[in-house]
A = this chain, B = another copy of it.
Amino acid sequence: MLRVAVAIAPEVRQLLEEGSLEQLGELFDEIHEEDIADLIELLGQEEGAKLLSAVPAELAARVFERMEQHRQESMVQTMGVDNVAGIVSEMSADDRTDLIEGLPEEMGETLLERIEQVDPDAAAEVEELARWAEDSAGGLMTTDYVSIAPGSRVSEVIEKIRNEGTDAETVYYVYVVTKSEQLLGVASLRDILLASPNDKIDDIMIERVHAVSPTTDQEEVARTMAKYDFSALPVVGMGHKLLGVITVDDVIDVLTDEAREDVQRIGAIEPTEETYFRTDFWTFIRKRVVWLSILFFGGFFTEIALRRFNDVLVSVAALQFYLPLIISTGGNSGSQSASLMIRALATGEVSHSDWVKILTREIGQGIVMGVALGVLGAIRAFISGEGPRFALTIFGAVVGIVIGGCVVGSMFPLLLRRLGLDPATSSTPFIATVVDVLGIVVYLSIARLVFGALVPG
């Protein structure tokens, strides 16, 4: 994705050396800020800092917004708090807050003090937004939106957009608020443009506004915006007071992050904050070894279970050859059911109160699939010359463990959600461990029953 940055890097380096700032400005007019952020990464700290100091603070702020958090932090260090204060105060309020919150505490405080000297409003916005948790609606919202008083005419609204439009994160919705900032309605720029200049905003606005509270979880915000195709969603507090607006670009980031976290949790890794190559060796070890150890201790139960069935294992030696096959099959059907549940819970289609309905479905599917695989397994055992009793044992064990896998796999994520935990957390390996023990017990109990006469005592 760095194509553009790589292509312009030599030209930028040259212009920077020559000090041809005007030409640099012309070049950047045609380039997306995201590509300039990539370019900074490509140039490295020193040259990147030089570039950011050379361009207007307004542009530098746009570029800063698009840099990864750990790069923002090192850039603040390289450029020095005094030099970045002007740039950071030009950033949009939500990104500015995230940046300051991401810095080491002392550095963040110093930077906030400097911002207060440059632009007291910008500092006040940060203090306002920093009150809310990072993964809540309050943590996502920005205070850079366009609002208008009720009774305003369309021509006045357009004039206001013209005046405030450069600073606002979105101009595509205008919020109608009272003097005490109570939200009365919202009008899209599309509807405003389609109206006549003399129309009153009150006649255009939608009164039944979808809004969320600042403590709403970011996943619910993302779900609501995705469902209704909103490109912005207002956040209101007590007395329907407008606190901020969440824009669609932040929601896309939420969706992408949540998807990464889900996949990692399923794979029994504590979610990483950074991407693969940016996460260092020991961070990975920490994120991985905790779950791996928990699952390892869980695995001790398989050993204990097997010891309990020593009698039948000694009498019918071939049983152990099929053990990995049986327990993996249970694990596989379990992870299928779990992955269906995790997504259905994530999109809000299913809730834990649906458990009876889901259990019925899963047991039904388990029976059908278990019988199909059980027949295959019995044939395999018979071909290997194990005899009909053995084949019967395999059949029974496969049917039992596929049903068991479906039940555990579907119910475990529902249980996690019921307990207020993330349903994806380590579910597949955890289910596999439970199903391993279950598989041993089912398999060898059936064997004991079938080979009853042969087993001593």
Contacts and interface: CB of A to CB of B under 8 A. Distances in A.
Contacts of A376: 293, 296-297
Contacts of A264: 339-340, 343
Contact of A260 (B288, B292, B347): B347
A299 B276 contact: no
Interface in A325-354: 325, 327-329, 331-333, 335-336, 338-344, 346-350
Contact of A267 (B210, B310, B339, B350): B339
Contact of A32 (B228, B267, B291): B228
Contacts of A372: 289, 293
A302 to B, nearest CB: 4
Contacts of A380: 300, 303
Nearest to A256: B226
Interface stretch (A49-57, A82-90, A123-131, A189-197): A189-197
A39 to B, nearest CB: 14
- Which 8 A/B pairs are nearest by Cβ-Cβ distance? A267-B339, A299-B325, A302-B324, A229-B249, A259-B259, A276-B344, A30-B208, A306-B321
Contacts of A256: 226, 255, 347
Contacts of A226: 252-253, 256
Contacts of A321: 303, 306-307
A350 B278 CA distance: 11
Interface of A: 1, 30-32, 34, 158, 161-162, 165-166, 171-172, 189-190, 193-194, 206-208, 210, 223, 225-229, 231, 248-249, 251-253, 255-256, 258-260, 262-264, 266-269, 272, 275-277, 281, 284-285, 288-289, 291-293, 295-297, 299-300, 302-303, 306-307, 310, 313-314, 317, 320-325, 327-329, 331-333, 335-336, 338-344, 346-350, 357, 361, 364-365, 368-369, 372-373, 376-377, 380, 384, 402, 428-429, 432-433, 436, 440
Nearest to A433: B328
A74 B60 CA distance: 54
B276 A349 contact: yes
Contacts of A285: 365, 368-369
A162 B327 CA distance: 65
A148 to B, nearest CB: 14
Contacts of A335: 266-268, 428-429
Nearest to A258: B259
Contacts of A190: 165, 171-172
Contact of A263 (B251, B272, B339): B339
Nearest to A253: B226
B292 A340 contact: no
23 contacts: A30-B207, A172-B172, A229-B252, A248-B252, A258-B259, A260-B347, A264-B343, A267-B336, A276-B343, A276-B350, A285-B369, A288-B333, A288-B365, A289-B373, A292-B332, A293-B372, A293-B373, A299-B324, A299-B328, A303-B321, A307-B321, A314-B317, A332-B429
Nearest to A31: B208
Nearest to A265: B339
Nearest to A326: B299
Contacts of A313: 320
Contacts of A314: 317
A329 B295 contact: yes
A336 B288 contact: yes
A303 B325 contact: yes
B267 A340 contact: yes
A105 B440 CA distance: 51
A193 B172 contact: no
